[in-house]
Structure formats: structure tokens, C-alpha cells
Copies of this chain bind each other. A is one copy, B any other.
Amino acid sequence: MADSAVTRSTYNEIAELAQVSKATVSRVFNGDPRVHPDRVSAVMKAAKKIGYRPNRAAIALSTGRTGLIAVVIDDEISALSDPFWGMVTSGVSRVLMENNMQTLLMVAPLDDDDGAVSHYLDSNEVDGAIFAQVHKEGLVRKLAGKGLPVVVIGTPSAESRDIHFVDTNNVAGGFMGTNHLFKIGCKNIATITGDVEASAGLHRLRGYEQAHKENGVKVNKNLIAYGNYSYESAKILMLRLLASNPDIDGVFAANDVMALAAINAIEERGKRVPDDIAVVGFDDTMLSQASRPSLTTVKQDIPGLGAAAAESMMQLLSGQKPDSRILSTELIIRESA
């Protein structure tokens, strides 16, 4: 049973103290305009006197709403070690708190449509779910299909466009970064992609291709290296690129970490950045200012992405149908390109 605390504060106590019924107490707290002002103040006073705190479990039981929004981070590669997701989450959390909701964090692999996360989410424990880093859309589709309000961070595949999402304009970002390399005179621009199974990686690659088209240059498939956002992957790929394509004079990396790895590999092979090879990253994390040479990079508003997702969620919960939002990017020019 509950607690044996000294001050158990319930509607019953308030009702007794204020000489009204539980029903009236409930009406007062829910702002029912029909209650007589005198009772309202009596209830308020009584509530204050006994230090009333609502019991969320009871509210959840009777209303069916828990006040909880799940933030689900796909943990194939421990995602929270990348500051990106922490920052996204803090953006989500801030907006949810402003709306008097709480953030339930779930870091778990999403490959299983029927795993622990799935069970938890589809049994009304949360009022909605925000998904990050979605590789497989099965679970998301299933939950959205069951009527759970869902917002995805990133762009879902074409057949899931009925799902609400927010994303950075990664195509524009990829274009921006690559185009800058063209503008400063690069002729042979390689790219190290992110995980192209998810939208962000794929879209940045599309932007890279678009910049080629716009500059009248044909994409050389040998200059596309498929990475996964990790330092290690990028270092190996960059070394390989340098070996097979000695004339590379520019690199667009799909995040800052890989850009650093590329610089490291380039210098290891005795070339200089940006003099011999220019490098552009993506994200504008702390890394990009801290590295030497400092990194020219495509900046995205990371906490803003989380905040936008949370705002869309609030709209969904209030019955509106929010437009999916695409946040813009900005080129930050530093030393590396």
C-alpha cells in the first residue's frame, strides 16, 4: 500500500477542510468555470494549507494520460556517446518541461518489432513517442498504426510519409558543404558518407551529388566512401581513398568526427590541410572549433531539432496535425577549407 507519511494529501482532505465534495475539488483543479468563486478560493486555500500534491498515477488511471513522452534512441552503436543525441534530447526535454510533461528516455536497439521497447510503448504507458536515429521503421509504423502519437527525428522513407517528422535539411547541407569546396577551387572532391541506411547520411550524399550537378561536374563513384559516422571507419576509408585516388583535393565528410579522421589520415600521408586537400565537416560540434586546423563545417541546430520534435508532439497531442519541419543549415567557414 501507499505511504505512511505524515501528510497524506488527497482530495478527500481538501474536500473536508473546504466543506465541499471531491467532485467540486476536482472541478476547481481542472478549471471548470461553473464553480462558484467562493468555493474556488476555499478549495485553493485548503489545498495550500495541507500542501496538496496531485497523484499522477491516479490521474493517469482515470484519464488515460500519463504526462510522459518517450524519447527512443536506437542504440545500435551506443548512440549517446555521440554528443549529438544528448543535445537533441536536451532540446526535447526543455520543451516538454515547459509543457508540463516529462521525458522518458529509452536507449535500446530498435531492430525488434516486438521487444521490450515495443511492449512498453504500446501499452499506454506514454502519451507519445519521439524516435531518433531510426534504422528500421517497422516498430515506428506499428506504433503509429496503433494510434500512438509519434514524431520521428530524421526523414522517414517514402512509404512512411504519413508519420510526422522533423529533420535538418541535410540535402541543402550536403550541397552547401560540397559547393563550398567547388567554390574554393577543388576539382576532385571525395566524400565520406554517414550511415546511408538512415535518412541523414543518404541526404547529405544527395547534396554532395547535387553540388556536382550544379557545378557541371560528373560524380566519380570511386570518390564516394561509405562510412558510419565513426572516427575509425573514416580514418580507414580516407587512407584507402588517398591510395586509390591521389588527385583528391577536397573532402566532404558527413560529420565532424569523420572530418577529423580524414584530416588525420591526410596528414599521416604527408599532405596538408587545407593547402593540398580541403576538408569540410558537418554538425559544428565542439570538435570543429577545437581541432587544428579548425574545421569548416555545415552547422545544424541540434537542440533546435529536439525542440521542434517536442513542439510537434505537443501539437499532435492537442489534436492538431503539425506540418513536418525541416530546419535549415549554415556554412561555418574556418581553416580547413
Contact = CB atoms under 8 A, between A and B. Distances in A.
A89 interface: yes
Contacts of A58: 57, 61
A93 B64 CA distance: 25
A66 B57 contact: yes
A286 interface: yes
A157 interface: no
A93 B107 contact: yes
Interface stretch (A190-198, A260-268, A314-322): A260-268
How many copies of the polypeptide does the oligomer hold?
2
Contacts of A71: 105
A88 to B, nearest CB: 9
User: Which of A83, A122, A263 has its CB near the most chain B CB atoms (within 10 A)?
Assistant: A83
Interface in A100-118: 102-108, 116
A158 interface: no
A292 to B, nearest CB: 6
A125 interface: yes
Given A108-B97, A290-B264, A119 B53 contact: yes
A105 B103 contact: yes
A58 B63 CA distance: 11
Interface string A115-142: 0100110111100000000000000000
Interface in A29-65: 53-58, 60-64
A90 B81 contact: yes
Contacts of A147: 3, 5
A219 interface: no
Interface residues of A, number: 63
A15 to B, nearest CB: 19
Nearest to A123: B53
A64 B57 CA distance: 8
Interface string A254-297: 00010011011001000000000000000000110111100000
A304 interface: no
Contacts of A60: 56-57, 60-61
A23 interface: no
Contact of A64 (B1, B79, B291): B1
Contacts of A86: 80-83, 85-86, 89
A87 interface: yes
A330 interface: no
A108 B71 CA distance: 17
A61 B53 contact: no
A301 to B, nearest CB: 12
A5 to B, nearest CB: 8
Contact of A106 (B54, B102, B261, B286): B102
Given A5-B147, A54-B123, A104-B104, 4 more contacts: A68-B104, A79-B90, A81-B303, A82-B86
15 contacts: A54-B123, A60-B60, A61-B61, A78-B87, A82-B83, A86-B86, A89-B105, A93-B106, A97-B108, A105-B105, A231-B289, A263-B292, A267-B292, A290-B291, A292-B292
Nearest 4 A/B pairs, CB to CB: A86-B86, A53-B123, A57-B60, A80-B86
